[in-house]
Homo-oligomer: A and B are copies of this chain.
Amino acid sequence: MIDDTDPLVLFMPSGKRGHFPVGTPILDAGRELGVYIESVCGGRGICGRCQIENQSGNFAKHGITSSQDSISPVGAKEKRYADKRELKPGRRLSCSATIQGDLVVDIPADVQVNAQVVRKADDGRHIDRNPAIHLCYVEVPEPDMHNPLGDFDRLKTELVKDWDSVDGDSSNLEDLTIDHHLLTRLQPILRKGKWKVTAAIHKDGGATRPTLIGLYPGLHNEAYGIACDIGSTTIAMHLVSLLSGATIATSGTSNPQIRFGEDLMSRVSWVMMNPDGREAMTLAVRDALNQLISQVCSEADIEADDILDMTFVGNPIMHHLFLGIDPTQLGVAPFALAISSSIQMFACELDLKVNPGARVYVLPCIAGHVGADAAAATLAEGPHRQDDLMLLVDVGTNAEIVLGNRLRTITASSPTGPAFEGAEISCGQRAAPGAIERVRIDPETLEPRIRIIGVEKWSNEEGFDEEAEKHGITGVCGSGIIEVVAEMYLTGIITHDGVIDGKMAAKSDRIIANQRTWSYVLWNGTQQLTISQTDIRAIQLAKAALYAGIRLLMDKMQIKSVDQIRFAGAFGSFIDPKYAMVIGLIPDCELDRVHAVGNAAGVGAKMALLNQDHRREIEETVQKIEKIETALEPDFQQHFVNAMALPNKVELFPKLEKQVKLPDVNTGSLGDTTESSRPKRRRRTRAN
């Protein structure tokens, strides 16, 4: 019964609001409005999970004034909790505090109840929580010969009584079932807890029967989940509290499958050539995952047994190998996935060493070359949630491209090859300390200055040599290659069509003859690092493939430019958008709307871990995304040929032109090379 004369309560940050009678517990009000406030103890004032803050003041924008008197005074339950455990000043337990007048309630992002937990600096992204796992404390009546219901059945009865529908999940606890591993351990746990236990329940809005997957004696006040991105090069893992949403630990490791083959196709070949190749690679990745699990658990000082839910993403081949599916079909046309939809299963089926009842959710794949990692990146960046046209690119051996907005989203993958990862470049190397990552060339002298990974100073700054010595200067990584090619173009060393201009040899002895072509000497140290004509061609081929894929999608959308560009993945994190645009890797766009978003796939996995609505969102989105197969598109080849040349001012780069003076066609006029802002190199725990 809504009564406008009842106090108005506004919940922040969601902004949800409603009228409630004086005396209503704030927890109940929140739940009625669909505001997710955790409570493990079911309002007994012992778990401390339901903390809120009363924001006093006049919130004119919301038309509400909240005062100290709008909330009931601290009661006995809260005092008892505060005495036993910590309750920060201003914090209240919403199960006990009641509404006394118009009230603004803030749900703090960080509810600290377990002091020992190391809390990772979060990436600042707020993820609304609606996890699939719930902890529910209950007190079960002892067995009684008058009522010979089984122990599980009496536990269920209490769960229904105390917990059914409190969180708005439409699962009906009357349908509760129990995992077999737990059934055999149920009786001792109930007795150990003296009939007071915390149940861990898996609920997914009724898609499957709610299931008792864990049971703990007494109050158990923490449950964790793992979000994991299995990249072909790197595996990245986040350990997340399912109760607070906080990331507790993060770790990463090389994918040990690398020993079977550097790139995806060589791993597929390995499977085709070796009878136990698939098993060996599956074992390798699962072993690595188990090591990462131990690592994040020990970092956070928790037991792996407290991990109850897991989400995984990866490209189609990683996805198949992780699941134990032969990826051979993905190596040949028509690149048939065994399954494209999302998968719900048990962690034990994948030999993962976590709680025996832990569930696994694997995000859907989009197409044979556009995997669950691309789906997760889409979920994280949300082109489908906005009006602006977003281009989302994850560059690896295959670039995964998503283009769209609320109205329409399309995707394709482009076979860029490994050049951007330094693999086909004479002086190329993986991003690692000692690799050249930034390059500037003086337009007059053609002398370069560089920066290497692991050293803050530029090569022309004092002390560089000493600092660089500890790593050595060993090669050029992906972002460095982009920069050197772009700078060579802007300084006229290479022409519009990518040829190193031999005439420049007259201007600088860094231009040297190399058989029948020319090279540019980027570094002369213990090792000489040169950029050859072949290197330039490799980059041209790679960038043309990516750009052709993007152009194909833009043609399908009938657009000439995009509103935003997001680079996902390791490579994307470190390239300078301006240089990417100068060499024509990406289409024209306002530079301040081009962002590197780091491991967006990992963020998407975390969103799916913390909120089932995000699972449904990406499942639906993936179905709606239009999938373009570049190999079937007659225009792709023409786009590819056209994109071999480097961009010039008469082409389609009006927005770039505002910041960078591009060379005219066939001339070597110098561009402006002022430094643009670019993301700082961060800890490398992400996958690509």
Contact = CB atoms under 8 A, between A and B. Distances in A.
A151 B336 contact: yes
A186 B338 contact: yes
A629 B144 CA distance: 10
Nearest to A368: B148
Contacts of A149: 337, 340
Chain B CB within 10 Å — which of A143, A150, A178, A627 has the most?
Answer: A150
B627 A178 contact: no
Given A183-B339, A209-B208, A146 B629 contact: yes
Contact of A339 (B153, B324, B345): B153
A581 to B, nearest CB: 30
B183 A325 contact: yes
Nearest to A326: B187
A343 B183 contact: yes
A629 B209 contact: no
B631 A145 contact: yes
A153 B368 contact: no
A341 interface: yes
A344 interface: yes
Contact of A153 (B143, B145, B340): B340
A207 interface: yes
Interface in A192-215: 207-209
A339 B145 contact: no
A273 B343 CA distance: 45
A539 interface: no
A220 B340 CA distance: 26
A152 B341 contact: yes
Interface string A324-336: 1110010001111
Contacts of A184: 323-326, 338
A175 interface: yes
Nearest to A184: B324
Contacts of A349: 180
A335 B148 contact: yes
Interface of A: 142-153, 156, 175, 177-178, 180, 183-184, 186-188, 207-209, 323-326, 329, 333-341, 343-346, 349, 365-368, 370, 627, 629, 631-632
Given A145-B631, A148-B334, A148-B366, 11 more contacts: A148-B627, A150-B341, A151-B337, A152-B338, A152-B340, A175-B207, A177-B343, A180-B345, A184-B323, A184-B324, A186-B338
